[in-house]
Amino acid sequence: MKFTKAAVSGALALAVAIFAGQGACRKKTFDYDARSTIVLGQYASLTGGTADFGKSSNDGLQLALEQINASGGLLGKQVSVTTEDDQSNSDNAVAAVSKLINRDKVSAVIGEVASTRSLSGGGICQSSRIPMLSPASTNPQVTKTGDYIFRICFTDDFQGKICARFAKDQGWKRVAMLTDTANAYSKGLATAFKENFPVDMIVADENFKAEDKNFEAQLNKIKATNPDAIYLPAYYTEVGLIVTQARRAGMTMPFFGGDGWDSPQTQSNPDTVGCFYSDHYSANDPSEATQKFVKAFAKKYGHQPDAMAVLGYDAMGVMAQAIKDAGSADPKAIRDALAKIKNYDGASGQITIDENRNATKSIVILNVTGKPVPDLAKRYDPGE
Ligand code: PHE
C-alpha cells in the first residue's frame, strides 16, 4: 500500500492529538464564554493586488462594530475584532486564519471578499470548527467547504444567470466572453453565464490569467467576431486595463461583468462609461436600512459606500445577531445560530441563511456613467 506525504502527516497529527488528549486527562477545551470581551477575527486584503476589496469591507465592518459597542456590546460585553491582512494572497489567507484561530482563539471569523481566498481560509475554519462568515464571496464552492462556512451574499449561479438574462433583455445577439482562468470567481461566473445564454449567440470565448497586462491577442480575436457586447467576469484590476486596451483598438461596444468590477478605479476610468455590471446593492436604493447606512458611512469616511462596504457592515451585523441569538461566544453555538438567521434587515437587503448556508438576495445591474456612484439600471429579484 502506498501512502501520500499528506496522508502520513495527517495520520500522525491525529495520533498526536489522541495521545495529547489522553495525556491531559480530557483537559477542558477553551472556554470562550469565560473571557471579558467577545473576540472575533477578520481576514482581509488590506494591501496587495485587490486592496480595494479588503479596505472597503473593513470600513463597513468597523462602522458596524463601533455602533454595536456604542450600544452596549453583546451579552453585556464589548466586542473586539482582530484583523489580519492577507495581502491579497491565498497562502497568506491560510496563515492569517490559522493565526486568528490558534493564537487569538477567536470565536468566529469574518472574511474574505475574494472567493479564491475564502476557499483557502475556509478550509482551516472548517477543520478547526470555527464558524466563518464571508461578506462577499460569491463562488458556489465556498460554502460547500463544510457546515461551518456561511455567506451573506448571493452566489454566482444566480449572478451569472441574471447577467445572461440582462444580455437577452438588452437584445444582444452576439456576445463575446473573456474569462480569467486564474480566478475561481471568474471561472464560476463564466460557467453560470454559459449555462443560461444560447450557445449559438456566444461568438468568442477567450481566456487570460490574473495579473496579465497585455490582452491584445484575445481582443483582436474578439474584435474579428464583431460582437454586440463582451462579457468580462473579472476583477476591477484587469477590467480597467482590458477595456482601455479595447478602446485603443477601436472597439466601442459595451463590456459587462459582475460584482468584481466594483471599485473607484472602474468608476473613474472614462473608458468604462456605458458599461454595465451586476452588484449587491445600489447606493441610490431608497430603502430605510440602506439610506441610514449610506448616511452613517458617508459621515465617517467622507464618501459613498460600495458593495464591499455594505456587505462588510452586514456581515458584522449578522454575526452580532447570531451571537445574541446563541447567548454565547462558543463557536459551535454561533454556528448553530448563524444557520438559523432569518429576515435580518440588512443595509444590503433582507438576509435569510438557507440550508446550504447561502443568502438569497436581489441583484442590481449598475451602469457606469463617469460619476462616483454608478446608476441603477435594473433590479432582479430571486426566482427571476
Ligand atoms: N464576489 C467576488 C468574489 O467572490 C468578490 C466581490 C464581492 C467583489 C463584492 C466586489 C464586490 O470573488
Instruction: Tell me the best of 45, 52, 53, 118 to mutate to test the pocket of ligand 1, counting ligand atoms within 8 Å of each CB and taking the most.
Output: 53
pLDDT reading at 8 higher than 80: no
Atom of ligand 1 nearest to the CA of 263: 10
pLDDT reading at 23 higher than 70: no
Q: What is the mean pLDDT of residues 39-60?
A: 97
Strand runs (DSSP E) across the chain, as ranges?
Answer: 38-44, 79-85, 109-110, 132-134, 149-151, 175-180, 202-208, 229-231, 255-257, 276-279, 344-346, 349-351, 363-367, 375-380
Which residue is closest in CA terms to ligand 1's atom 4?
Answer: 137
Q: What is the mean pLDDT of residues 95-119?
A: 98
User: Per-residue pLDDT tens for 61-73?
Assistant: 999 999 999 999 9
Q: Which residue has the cell 464618501?
A: 303
How far is residue 364's CA from residue 213's CA, in Å, rounded to a whole number?
A: 29
Query: Which one, of 302, 305, 299, lies nearest residue 267 by Cα?
Result: 305
In the prediction, which pLDDT does 104 show? 98
Atom of ligand 1 nearest to the CA of 183: 12
User: Per-residue pLDDT tens for 254-276?
Assistant: 999 999 999 999 999 999 999 99
Report the mean per-residue pLDDT for the chain: 93
Give helix 156-169 / helix 184-196 axis angle, nearest 10°: 50
In the prediction, which pLDDT does 383 show? 80
The burial of 69, by beta-carbon neighbours within 10 Å (0-12 exposed, 13-18 middle, 19 or more buried), is given as middle
Q: What is the mean pLDDT of residues 352-361?
A: 96
pLDDT reading at 28 higher than 90: no
Q: Ligand 1 centroid vs 247 CA: distance in angstroms?
A: 25
Neighbours of 83 (CB within 10 A): 18
Check residues 14 and 227 and name the one with the higher pLDDT. Answer: 227
The torsion region of residue 48 among left (phi > 0), alpha (psi -120 to 50) and beta comes to left
In the prediction, which pLDDT does 39 show? 98
**CA 170 to each of CA 123, 165, 166: distance values in angstroms, whole numbers, following the listed order:** 40, 9, 6
Q: Which residues line ligand 1 (CB under 6 A)?
A: 53, 113-115, 136-139, 185, 259-260, 262, 307-308
How far is residue 343's CA from residue 20's CA, in Å, rounded to a whole number?
A: 44
User: Per-residue pLDDT tens for 129-174?
Assistant: 999 999 999 999 999 999 999 999 999 999 999 999 999 999 999 9
Provide DSSP, 249-265.
TT--SPEEE-GGG-SHH
Percent of the chain whose pLDDT exceeds 90: 89
pLDDT reading at 3 higher than 80: no
In the prediction, which pLDDT does 384 show? 78
User: Per-residue pLDDT tens for 200-259?
Assistant: 999 999 999 998 999 999 999 999 999 999 999 999 999 999 999 999 999 999 999 999
Q: Return the C-alpha cell found at 86.
A: 492577507
